[in-house]
Structure 1
Amino acid sequence: MRKIKKKHKAAYAPMDDLVTYRAIPTREVEYIDPFLFLNHHGPQVYKSNNRGLPFGPHPHRGFETLTFILDGDIMHQDTGGGKDVIVAGGVQWMTAGRGLIHAEVSSDKFKKEGGPLEILQLWFNLPAKYKMTEPKYVGLQKDQIPTATEDDGNVKVNVISGNWRETQGPIPSLSDIHMASIELKQGGSLTTSIAAERNIFFYVVRGSVKVNGEAVDKQNLVEFENEGEEIKVEAQEDSYILLGHAHPFNEPVVSHGPFVMNTEEEIQEAFRDYQAGKMGSW
């Protein structure tokens, strides 16, 4: 079995009235190459006539974002031409590449009516050769995401990129990142193998599970050693997890706010390009 290095509790990091837990980076773990960042927003319930999500127009360069909408919605717009509203069960994958400006806010309907909200955003690094690639956005509703079942239907795997056994994810990854969200009923279990040289991203969103025999509660990130291959997950209650894996890039990571590059000089160039309007204008 793959050895567990450590379990990390997500840190409470609220943003105005938005309940937020940051799983990575924290004081204990900076990143798991190439997985850089995870914010877990909610769960919470918004009243009617609310302000919604606070993520107005802002720039990005040098990485990708994958956003999971568990409850509520996100209205996305960017200077690359991407624009839509994704509701519960859907995902958004944005390749910032050489740079763009985007906004992630709640729809007018959600702001008017309110309701439950739970959203997670994961950042992937881009290798140096793809840092300046053309920006791209893909939004998928729940019924556009292929699923695979395990354990006689007690486990449902929503395949987003890469593959899960014979099921292929709909979003091609520049860096061979495999990502899935997994829903487990109480008592459900699954076993999979991930090559020892690949780094694993494993986060428990809801419920509690046993991973290779160790108990892991919600809002916990599991950091694995690069030893062994088998991962066995057993649900102690109805649970929802994020599971991804990728080859590490083993490149320098220099980040400043919305930009993730390989050198400080590239960060300064990103700021200059943003100020000069090279990432588009809002």
Structure 2
Amino acid sequence: MRTIKQQHRAVSAPIADLVTYRALPTEAVEHLDPFLFLNHHGPQTYPARNRGLPFGPHPHRGFETVTFILDGDIMHQDSGGHQSVIGPGGIQWMRAGSGLIHSEISSDEFKQTGGPLEILQLWVNLPAQHKMTAPHYVGLQEPEIPTVALDEGRVQVHAVSGNWAGAEGALQPLTDMQLATINFQQGGQLALTIPAERTIFCYVIRGRLRINGQEAAARQLVEFNYDGDEFRAEALTDDCVLLLGHAKPFQEPIVAYGPFVMNSEVEIRQAYQDYQAGKFGVWKG
């Protein structure tokens, strides 16, 4: 069984009136190669006639964003011409690659009526060979994401990317990265084989679970050593939700500054120059 190195509690980092907990990076953990960043927004309830999400147009280069909408919605628009409104249970996967501008705000309907909101955004790195690949965006609603029922239905695996219990994920990214959200009923058990050389990304969204022998509660990131290939989780409460992923680390330099993640400071400076020169596309919002 893979041993746990440490557990990290997400830190409060509100953005305007948006309740936010940052699980990665924190003072205790900078990144889990190739997983770079995780913000957990909510849960909270917005009143009617609200301002919605505060993420207006901003640029990115050199990595991918994967957004999980548990409650509420996100209206996406980018300089590549992509637009969508994704609702509860859906995902957005955006490859920033060589650079684009995008916004992530609430739909007009949500801003008018309000309601519950809970969203996670994960940043995953791109290896040097793919950092300047063409930008790409996919938005999927909940029914488009394959679900696998395990342990007599007490565990529901929503396969976002990679292969989970024989089911192919909704997306196959450029790199071998497996991601899923997993819902547990109390007592539900999950057992997986994950090769020891792969980085495990394990974040408890809701509830309390026993993971490889240790209890982990909501808003905790579980960091693993690289010493075993067995992963086990058991729900100690009802309505547990886990964000689980794994990937082989790139073992490349990581230089992050603001909205750009590259391999050197020279590349970061070039990213800013290219953005200012209009090379990330034209914003038409």
TM bucket, shorter chain: over 0.9
Structure 2: which 5+ residue stretches go unaligned? Answer: none
Give a deviation string over 1:193-222, Cα, whole Å, max 9, x none.
100000000000001100011000000000
Q: 1:278: how far off?
A: 0.2
**TM-score when normalising by structure 2:** 0.98
Q: State the partner residue of 2:115.
A: 115
Give a deviation string over 1:157-193, Cα, whole Å, max 9, x none.
0001000021001211111100000000011111111
Q: Does 1:209 align with 2:209?
A: yes
Partner AA of 1:244 in structure 2: G
Q: Does 1:242 align with 2:246?
A: no
Superposed counterparts of 1:78-93, under 5 Å: 78-93=78-93
Q: Distance in 2 between matches of 1:172 and 1:199?
A: 18
Q: Does 1:177 align with 2:177?
A: yes
Superposed counterparts of 1:67-78, under 5 Å: 67-78=67-78
Q: Distance in 2 between matches of 1:257 and 1:46?
A: 28
Q: State the partner residue of 1:251.
A: 252
Q: State the partner residue of 2:263.
A: 262
Give a deviation string over 1:8-44, Cα, whole Å, max 9, x none.
0000000010000000000000000000000000000
Q: Distance in 2 between matches of 1:279 and 1:172?
A: 25
Secondary structure of the corresponding residue to residue 143 of structure 1: helix
Partner AA of 1:253 in structure 2: I
Q: Distance in 1 between matches of 2:156 and 2:79?
A: 35
Partner AA of 1:274 in structure 2: Y
Q: Distance in 2 between matches of 1:15 and 1:105?
A: 13
Superposed counterparts of 1:101-140, under 5 Å: 101-140=101-140
Q: Distance in 1 between matches of 2:165 and 2:212?
A: 20
Superposed counterparts of 1:1-282, under 5 Å: 1-237=1-237, 238-282=239-283
Q: 1:281: how far off?
A: 1.6
Q: Distance in 1 between matches of 2:171 and 2:202?
A: 20
What is the percentage of aligned positions where both structures have the same residue?
61
Q: Distance in 2 between matches of 1:197 and 1:29?
A: 19
Partner AA of 1:91 in structure 2: I
Partner AA of 2:171 in structure 1: I
Q: Distance in 2 between matches of 1:196 and 1:115?
A: 42
Partner AA of 2:259 in structure 1: P
**TM-score when normalising by structure 1:** 0.99
Partner AA of 1:185 in structure 2: Q
Structure 1: which 5+ residue stretches go unaligned? Answer: none
Partner AA of 1:279 in structure 2: F
Partner AA of 1:148 in structure 2: V
Partner AA of 1:93 in structure 2: W
Q: 1:149: how far off?
A: 1.0
Partner AA of 1:15 in structure 2: I
Q: Distance in 1 between matches of 2:78 and 2:257?
A: 20
Runs of 4+ in 1 over 3 A off after TM superposition: none
Q: Distance in 1 between matches of 2:63 and 2:84?
A: 21
Partner AA of 1:261 in structure 2: M
Q: Distance in 1 between matches of 2:166 and 2:213?
A: 27
Q: Distance in 2 between matches of 1:279 and 1:106?
A: 23
What's the C-alpha RMSD, in Å, of the aligned pairs?
0.5
